[in-house]
């Protein structure tokens, strides 16, 4: 009598993507270069939640940028006060995110992976992109692929990175720039905007440095005032 064939080996299933948390939490996603460290924050209990999730990008990894940057965390807090969910994440090579710095190319892929997860988990939400400095550059580069419902660029580093190939966003778009920015040349930002056929809503903040020292509350007000007309209905 012929012995039965052994059962075929079962390939391990791919790990399921993390669920969008019901309360603020830090989690790990699978990214193109390995693990991606992600911080999801929900609106405060006293705020009416909106069908809106904003993905925020941090400044230059090689100069200490991370999801905990104070400008990024203030921008996220400002948006949560309006009822949005916020998703901050570390680019490759920062904190718990694997990989190494890739001049904005791999970082764009990291952003696209986070966006794909958000859209899978929150398909009925509007999705916005936001970025500060290098993060503004990465989110601008990705906007043509992502087609967000709105875009926020804080101190976009025109003159420091290649902005010539960026496709001008067609969604509502807010740019906030300090007039005394010592890292991103404000005049380079304004000159770049002047070349665009479709211009963003521009907020120029006087006496404001790159990291918004002593101006974070003013940043909060400018951001909330600028985006309030674009908020989806609850």
pLDDT per position in the chain (234 positions), as tens?
444 444 434 333 334 689 999 999 999 999 999 999 999 999 988 999 999 999 999 999 999 999 999 999 999 999 999 999 999 999 999 999 999 999 999 999 999 999 999 999 999 999 999 999 999 999 999 999 999 999 999 999 999 999 998 999 999 999 999 999 999 999 999 999 999 999 999 999 999 999 999 999 999 999 999 999 999 998
Residue ranges of domains in the chain, CATH in brackets = 25-228 (3.40.50.1820)
**Strand partners of residue 128:** 54, 150
**Structure token pair of residue 151:** 């875009």
Terminal CA-CA length for the chain: 69
Q: How far apart are CA 70 and CA 51, in angstroms?
A: 25
User: What local confidence, expressed as pLDDT, does residue 3 receive?
Assistant: 44
141 contacts: CB under 8 Å, gap ≥ 6: 104, 108, 165, 166
pLDDT for 16: 62
**Exposure string over 14-24, b if 16+ CB within 10 A, otherwise e:** eeeeeebeeee
Q: Cα–Cα distance between 190 and 186 in angstroms, integer?
A: 6
Q: Considering only CA atoms, which of 74, 87, 84 is closest in space to residue 223?
A: 74
What pLDDT is attached to residue 9?
40
Q: Specify the residue for token string 């993507």.
A: 17
pTM over 0.75: yes
pLDDT of residue 29: 97
The predicted structure's pLDDT at residue 234: 80
Q: What is the pLDDT of residue 68?
A: 98
């Amino acid at each position: 009598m012929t012995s039965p064939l052994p059962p075929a080996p079962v390939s391990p299933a791919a790990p399921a993507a993390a669920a969008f948390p019901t309360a603020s939490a830090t989690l790990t996603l699978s990214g193109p270069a390995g693990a991606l460290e992600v911080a999801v924050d929900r609106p405060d209990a006293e705020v009416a939640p909106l069908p809106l999730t904003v993905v925020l990008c941090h400044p230059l990894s090689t100069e200490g940028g991370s999801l905990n940057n104070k400008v990024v965390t203030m921008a996220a807090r400002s948006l949560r006060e309006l009822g949005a969910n916020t998703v901050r994440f570390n680019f490759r090579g920062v904190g718990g995110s694997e990989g190494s710095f890739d001049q904005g190319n791999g970082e764009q892929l990291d952003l696209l992976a986070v966006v794909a997860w958000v859209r899978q988990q929150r398909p009925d939400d509007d999705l916005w992109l936001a970025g500060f400095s290098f993060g503004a550059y990465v989110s601008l580069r990705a906007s043509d692929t992502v087609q967000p419902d709105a875009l926020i660029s804080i101190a976009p580093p025109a003159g420091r990175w290649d902005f010539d190939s960026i496709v001008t966003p067609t969604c509502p778009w807010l740019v906030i720039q300090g007039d005394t920015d010592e890292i991103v040349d404000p005049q380079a930002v304004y000159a770049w905007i002047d070349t665009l056929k479709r211009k963003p809503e521009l907020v120029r903040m006087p006496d404001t440095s790159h990291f918004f020292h002593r101006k974070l509350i003013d940043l909060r007000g400018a951001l909330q005032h600028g985006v309030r007309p674009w908020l989806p209905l609850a």
